Amino acid sequence: MSGPKKKSVYAVDSSSLADEIKNSLKFEEDVTGQNVHSVNFAISGSKKKRVNEVGSKNKGKSASAEEAMTPVELNTKGSESHAKGCYGEALSFFDKAIASSPDNGRLHCNRACSLIGVMRFSEAIKEFEEGIRLAPTYFPVHEGLGTLLLGLGQVKNARKHLYFKDHKADKAKLQKLQAVAEHINKCTAARRLEDWTTVLKEAKAATNSGAVMSSQLFACQAEAHLKLRQLEEAQDRMNGAMSCDPSAASYKSKLFGILTEAYIYFVLCQIHTSFGRYNEAYNAIKRAAQVDPQNAEVIRLFKKMKLLGKGHTRGINLFLAGRYAEACSAYDKELTLDSSNSILYCERAACWSKLGEWEKSLADSNQALFFQPDYTKALSRRAISNLKLERWANAVRDYTSLQQEHPDDGDIADFLFHARVELEKSRREGKVELVSDLEKFRAAIASGRLSGISVSVVLFKEISNEECSEMSSVVDALCTKYYSSVRFLKVDVELSPEIAASDNITEVPTVMIHKGSVKLRVDRSYTQMLESMIRNAIFAPN
């Protein structure tokens, strides 16, 4: 992909989740207290004494102030840094406190919250588990872990901790849990039906409802964007998924029947493939297969990528060696494995252009743009193909789009100027363009407007029809007379029935006059009035 970089619309920020969990832990301020909950989180007197003794010895050795602090003091400093959003600094304080007091559950939980702030979720989960080991009946720690798991989209695992024995989290948090679960269920059903618009909608809703750091739901959104041919958005969302620690699912859980970590790499493989990054794609799906070797969907893609990557490399090497026909054959095989890959179509188009097969190059460029509408390289290949085929209006359209992306590119400016000159020249010579493809037909009418011509006249005819031949002569004469104001086209309905259907043509010869969104039908009985109708269309207000 080329063109200007888009600013990410998917900024990932874990600080709010970290602060929410830390504020909900409800630790006692007096960590030396001996009530039923705080006893397991307290620093024993003997440990405090040992720390103080170590601090006294170090004073004579120019020890830093931090080294002389007790775990209580280090915890306070860490909490202050956390409150300021300085999570890395907070971790440093908590690490030192835990080194002196490893059995202090409060320190492990506080460290977990700061780990969330720097998006190290796997480690945060382990710290919460250590806190639970030290105080297995203290519900706020279970709630903290449950809240983290909910933020990661692990609904089933989150529920175990948010509902613990006779305790349950507050109503708002439980409502979040229910909402996330419902949206994930809807998302799963939509993916099964390949309803990617709904998949995207429900995955976003699940994230917004509470699964704010769910790498698998971000990956799900990326997959939906990819299937909807929105590649830039897919890549952007995948970046968000990877920044959220895709290995955080230390609890085994599945999304769409795939283990969550495997699913993330399964989608990443597809993203890499769409951008032509085959080595990265293979490595991603290999990792997915290692995580979930029993999943049929993962293994199927893994087997395909083994073949796809090798064939793509062979196609590139053949192209660089100047063996363009063989490179085309290599890409043919690749496309049987991945028939919607815009990169492969674009690279085969380059081979066809080297062979002078401009129609085939044009067809492959169109396919590449169908699957990736903002693919600049494919647009450039289509533009040069149209230029070589002397389809001047289409070339003007493509080079106009390219110039908008690259206003300072001298080559694009030169090609655009040449195409415009030739388009004007063809009109002066009174040539009527024969159009045989529906997309080209629509583009021809649209490109007329781009060049300042608002009226298009289209003759629908059959080669063997005598009345059509007579009407064709009339249209040729009118083209010579009105070429500067009207775009004239001819369509053979036997060769292009889809174009005829688009204008509801049921008999020939028929002439359609297009002006903006207005269409005027002129059948054979009004042939004598055709010129006056064209003149009226030219001079009528828009």
3-state secondary structure 204-220: HHHHHHCCCCCHHHHHH
DSSP 8-state assignment for residue 41: G
pLDDT at 66: 64
Measure the CA–CA gap between 64 and 298, rounded to whole angstroms: 53
Tokens 């100027």 belong to 417
Q: List CB contacts of 376: < 8 A, sequence separation 6 or more.
A: 1, 2, 3, 402, 405
Long-range pairs for 188-194: beta carbons < 8 A, 24 or more residues apart: 188/255, 188/256, 191/220, 191/256, 194/227
H/E stretch holding 459: strand 455-461
pLDDT at 37: 38
Report the sign of the C-alpha dihedral through residues 379, 384, 388, 391, in that order: positive
pLDDT at 250: 53
Tokens for 300? 């199927």
pLDDT at 339: 81
Using alpha carbons, list the distances in angstroms from residue 484 to 60, 335, 427, 452, 488: 96, 44, 7, 10, 10
β-bridge mates for residue 310, sequence order? none
- Give yes or no for a contact between 9 and 236, defined as CB atoms under 8 angstroms apart: yes
Measure the CA–CA gap between 288 and 51, rounded to whole angstroms: 47
* pLDDT by 10s per residue, the chain, length 542: 333 334 444 556 677 777 777 776 755 443 333 333 333 344 333 333 333 333 344 444 434 566 677 888 888 888 899 888 898 998 999 999 899 888 888 889 889 889 988 888 888 889 999 988 988 888 888 888 999 999 888 888 899 889 988 888 889 889 999 999 999 999 999 999 999 999 999 999 999 999 888 888 999 999 999 999 888 899 999 988 888 766 655 566 777 888 888 999 999 999 998 887 888 888 999 999 998 999 999 999 998 888 776 777 788 888 899 999 999 988 888 888 888 888 889 999 999 999 989 989 999 999 889 888 888 899 999 999 988 888 888 888 899 999 998 999 889 999 999 888 887 776 655 578 888 888 878 877 776 555 557 788 999 998 778 888 888 888 888 887 887 788 889 998 988 899 999 989 989 899 999 887 788 888 777 777 888 888 888 887 75
pLDDT at 527: 72
Using alpha carbons, list the distances in angstroms from residue 19 to 74, 87, 265, 396: 19, 11, 29, 56
pTM of the model: 0.63
Sheet strands side by side (includes 486-492): 433-434, 486-492, 455-461, 510-515, 518-523
Tokens for 399? 């080079």
pLDDT at 274: 84
- Nearest alpha-carbon partner for 75 in 124, 118, 39, 114: 114
Strands 486-492 and 455-461: parallel
Q: If you write DSSP's letter for every residue of 468-537 in order, what string do you get?
A: HHHHHHHHHHHHHHHTTTEEEEEEETTT-HHHHHHTT--SSSEEEEEETTEEEEEEGGGGGGHHHHHHHH
pLDDT at 298: 93
